[in-house]
């Protein structure tokens, strides 16, 4: 990585990373958050700064880069993030109760990804839980029939992932498409498949039954480091 700009941002802003070999990066992390990848080439990555519900007044976090088969690459660059306008901050979804639509243990490895489909309704109130004791896995969420480049990527950290899905994480294949069919793909880089527990819950109002379908190959980044509350002034550095 050669340069990151800007480093003092608001939620929803775009940040550009310049460097070489960036097309090998599967995911960028801002602390524990995985921002949406807007553009990725060999020399540039553009990400959108995510909202952090645990730090609504802003936060400060370092950039990290995840590439399959390699340890997480941590940079010395930190982003200082301020809240966006009220209209740009996602409104928390209050869910009275959820229904568990997927609950199973699957085997995931470098040559054995797993793919599940479930009815996601309007994309609100979804919770995804992933557990493994033998390594870490990548979790990709996308809309069936949508653009694969618009998939949202998360990864387990120390074998755990608790994901409260934001509606923006699911993009309809066509505007106004409801209900959404979500596609969840789990992949890893272990030579031998490892057992992975997966649970998906949706609001009671979303009548859904999880369905496993044939898997396709997928790359798998590894886990994430820490994120700290905003300390004040922006920081920057070189990797």
pLDDT at 207: 47
- Listed range (2-16, 74-88, 119-133) with the worst mean pLDDT: 74-88
What is the pLDDT confidence band of residue 177, given thresholds at 50, 70 and 90?
low
Q: What is the average per-residue pLDDT within 116-139?
A: 86
Cα torsion angle, 209, 215, 219, 221, sign: positive
How confident is the model at residue 90, as a pLDDT? 52
C-alpha–C-alpha distance, residues 166 and 53, integer Å: 11
Q: Where are the beta strands (DSSP E) in 144-179?
A: 152-155, 160-164
Instruction: Domains for the chain: give ranges and CATH numbers.
Output: 3-90 (2.60.40.10), 98-213 (2.60.120.380)
Q: Is the pLDDT at 147 greater than 90, yes or no?
A: no
Q: Give the pLDDT of residue 175.
A: 60
Give the list of residues 6+ apart from residue 107 with CB closer than 8 angstroms, or none: 114, 193, 194, 195, 196
pLDDT of residue 75: 85
What is the pLDDT at residue 14?
A: 92
Average pLDDT over residues 30-37: 82
Reduce the DSSP state of residue 17 to 3 states and report it: strand
Higher pLDDT, 122 or 126: 126
Contacts of 175 (CB under 8 A, 6+ apart): none
Residue 128, pLDDT above cutoff 80: yes
pLDDT of residue 157: 75
- In angstroms, the CA 145 to CA 160 distance is 28
Q: Residue 91 above 90 pLDDT?
A: no
pLDDT of residue 1 exceeding 90, the answer is no
pLDDT digits (tens, 9 = 90+) for 47-86: 988 888 788 888 999 998 887 667 778 888 999 999 875 4
Q: What pTM was computed for the model?
A: 0.55
Give dist(CA 151, CA 136) in Å, integer.
19
- pLDDT of 119 > 70? The answer is yes
Secondary structure element (H or E) that encloses residue 78, with its range: strand 73-82
Going by pLDDT thresholds of 50, 70 and 90, the confidence category of residue 210 is very low
In the structure, what pLDDT confidence band is assigned to residue 236 with cuts at 50, 70 and 90?
Answer: very low
Task: Name the percent of the chain lying above pLDDT 90.
Answer: 22
Is residue 220 pLDDT above 70, yes or no? no
User: Which residue(s) pair with 194 in the sheet?
Assistant: 108
């Amino acid at each position: 990585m050669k340069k990151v700009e800007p480093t003092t941002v608001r939620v929803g802003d775009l940040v550009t990373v310049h460097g070489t070999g960036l097309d090998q990066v599967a995911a960028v992390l801002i602390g524990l958050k995985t921002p949406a990848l807007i553009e990725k080439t060999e020399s540039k990555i553009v990400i959108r700064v995510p909202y952090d519900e645990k730090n609504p007044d802003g936060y400060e976090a370092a950039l990290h880069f995840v590439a399959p088969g390699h340890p997480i690459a941590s940079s010395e660059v930190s982003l200082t993030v301020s809240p966006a306008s009220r209209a740009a901050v996602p409104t928390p979804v209050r869910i009275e109760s959820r229904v568990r639509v997927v609950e199973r243990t699957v085997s995931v490895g470098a040559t054995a990804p797993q793919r599940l489909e479930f009815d996601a309704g309007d994309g609100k109130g979804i919770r995804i839980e992933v557990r493994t004791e033998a390594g870490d896995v990548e979790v990709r969420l996308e809309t069936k029939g949508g653009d694969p480049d618009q998939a949202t990527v998360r990864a387990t950290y120390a074998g755990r992932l608790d994901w409260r899905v934001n509606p923006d994480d699911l993009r309809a294949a066509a505007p106004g498409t409801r209900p959404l069919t979500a596609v969840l793909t789990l992949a890893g880089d272990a030579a031998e498949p490892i057992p992975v527990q997966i649970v998906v819950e949706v609001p009671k109002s979303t009548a859904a039954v999880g369905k496993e379908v044939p898997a396709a190959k997928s790359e798998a980044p590894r886990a994430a480091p820490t994120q700290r509350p905003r300390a004040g002034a922006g920081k920057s550095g070189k990797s």
